[in-house]
Structure 1
Amino acid sequence: MASNQNQNAAVMRVYNDKLIHQYENIKAKAAGHPRNTDQIDIESVCRIYREAVLENDKLRTQLKKETMARGYFQQENQRLVQALKKAQETKEYLEASYQAILNTNLALHNSTLCLSTQISAMQSKSEPGVDACSESQPPSYLEISPTSQAPTPLLGSVGQSPVSGTRVRCSISMLDNPLVEGP
């Protein structure tokens, strides 16, 4: 755009120089002592002036179009920047959701392993003909702690061997899951 302005200014300078030159010739001829031998042609002066006016109008129209285009491109650029920010926010949200799903799957896997361990412990403690609920030892249980600070172990925390008679205890932490709100 700057090169267009320089080019347009150069064209206008040429027209202005021609007009000034012809004006000086007319003035000198009117005073009775022409400065040069050029013949003054009023029609050519008018033609040059009309050409200068037309060129000036053309340049104004072009400048107006370029100004409008620049405004449009600025608006489009702002729209694209906003779309990029929204895409970045969406990406971050999807990454957090994926991590939450992964943590939930890990907690479910841990829970499944804990329950499997408890079932195995209960089956190994049961003797034929004896009801497992009527035993004197308390039954195995599963503890789910949403506020636990410990990370969720993959296989659960298993106390002593179920064969020795102590209960199996599993702790599942939900802190790693951003979808679960704290107390």
Structure 2
Amino acid sequence: MRLGGDGVCMALGEHWLGAGRGARFLLGLVVSTGVGGGLVLDGAPCLGRTGNAGHVGHVVVDPDGSPCPCGGRGCVETIASGPSLARWARANGWSAPPGAGAKELAEAAGAGDPVALRAFRRGAAALAAMIASVGAVCDLDLAVIGGGVAKSGRLLFEPLRAALADHARLDFLAGLRVVPAELGGAAGLVGAARLAAIA
């Protein structure tokens, strides 16, 4: 029997049957109410010493940033998660109805709301900094992003790719690509099946 966290199972599922087919060094990300992740390195899941490898939501991208529930400060999750995007937008003038979250923020950004657009650019820049850092450590060729925030499509991916080009300057990162996940909510289940098959 083998246990795998949701992030590594998502990454493994996308690697096996989704957007990561053919990649050897992959970071799978779920950007939703938090930021989670998993790694597939040299075609195999990387679980780490405690099974928590790929826990990228707590990569620090702003050392002077907001406190994180993990006890750290400036983790990418404090900037790029859905609740963090909406919280920042509200604090910067987004007039949203009570209870509005990332979905409503994406709708506002799609309609051209400047604060909503800035919130997505800010979150995308934080994700790009984290992906570039993990890419440099793990020599990645692909990052696959799923989750509710990723459903915003070009609102996230266009500024993310532009920011990644600024951050990922090392020669060996020139081929690092970022793509949307393909398997949706099934990615974790597909990855768990794959993990069981290769155990």
Q: Do both proteins adopt the same fold according to a TM-score greater than 0.5, normalized to the shorter chain?
A: no
More strand by share: 2
By relative contact order (CA 8 Å, sep 6+), the higher-ranking structure is 2
- Give the TM-score taking structure 1 as reference length: 0.22
- Give the TM-score taking structure 2 as reference length: 0.21
